[in-house]
Amino acid sequence: MRSTIALCIILLILMSLSLTAQESYEDWLKKDQQAYENYLSEQDRAFMDFLKADWEAFQSFQGIHPDTTPKPVDTPVAPNIKPPEPQPETVPPEPVEVPPAPEEPQAEAQPQRPCPEPEQEPEPQAPEWDQPIEPEPEPEPEPEPIQPPQPQPDQSTLNVRFYQTSLSIPSPDDLDLTLQRPLNNESFAKAWESLARLNFKPTLDYMSSVSERMSLNDWGFLQLAQRYAEVVFPGQTSKQLVLDWFITNKSGYKVKISYQSGDVLLLLPFKQTVYELPYTSIDGQKYYFYAPDKSLDTGKPLYSYKKDYPDADRTLNLSLETLPDISPDMGEKSLTFEYAGQPFEMTVAYKKDAVTFLADYPQSEIGIFVRSHPSRSFQSSIIKALRPALKGKTELEAVNLLLHFVQTGFEYQTDDQQFGKEKYLLPEETIHYPASDCEDRSLLFSFLVNELLGNKVILLDFPGHICTAVQLNTELDGDSVEYNGSRYTVCDPTYINATAGMLMPNFAGVQPEVIAYN
* Residues linked to residue 469 through DSSP beta bridges, in sequence order: 458, 490
Could you tell me which of 473, 503, 499, 500 has the C-alpha nearest to residue 487? 473
Cα 382 from Cα 10, distance rounded (Å): 78
Are 412 and 435 contacting, i.e. CB atoms less than 8 angstroms apart? yes
- As a whole number of angstroms, the distance between CA 450 and CA 373 comes to 12
Cα(33)–Cα(296) distance, integer angstroms = 41
List alpha helices for 359-513, DSSP H.
366-370, 376-386, 395-408, 415-419, 427-432, 438-448
| Angstrom distance (rounded) from CA 6 to CA 115 | 102
Contact 351, 329 (CB under 8 A): yes
**What are phi and psi for residue 228, nearest 5 degrees?**
-65, -45
> Which residues, in sequence order, are CB contacts of 104 under 8 Å at separation 6+?
none
Residue 345 pLDDT: 96
Measure the CA–CA gap between 335 and 444, rounded to whole angstroms.
Answer: 14
458 vs 446: CA distance, rounded Å: 8
pLDDT at 471: 97
Residue 386 sits at φ, ψ, to 5 deg, of: -95, -20
* C-alpha–C-alpha distance, residues 176 and 191, integer Å: 9
C-alpha to C-alpha distance for 430 and 444, rounded to whole angstroms: 8
User: What are the tens digits of pLDDT across the range 293-350?
Assistant: 777 888 899 999 999 999 999 999 999 999 999 999 999 999 999 999 999 999 999 9
Nearest-angstrom CA–CA distance, 383 and 128: 14
pTM of the model: 0.81
Q: Are strands 435-436 and 411-412 parallel, antiparallel or unpaired?
A: parallel
Q: What confidence tens digit (pLDDT) does each residue in 158-190 have?
A: 999 999 999 999 999 989 998 999 999 999 999
Give CA–CA dist 219/227, Å, rounded. Answer: 12
Low-confidence residues in the chain, pLDDT < 70: 1-39, 80-155
Q: What is the pLDDT of residues 384-428, one digit of tens each?
A: 999 999 999 999 999 999 999 999 999 999 999 999 999 999 999
User: Residues 294, 158, 359, CA angle at the centre, nearest 5°?
Assistant: 45
Other CB atoms within 10 A of residue 134 CB = 6
Burial 308-330, CB ≥16 within 10 A → b, else e: bbeebebbbebebeebbbbbbee
How far is Cα 435 from Cα 431, in angstroms, rounded to an integer? 9
d(CA 289, CA 275) in angstroms, rounded, equals: 11
Would you list the DSSP string of 289-334? Answer: EE-TT----TTS-EEE--PPPTT--BPB----SB-------EEEEE
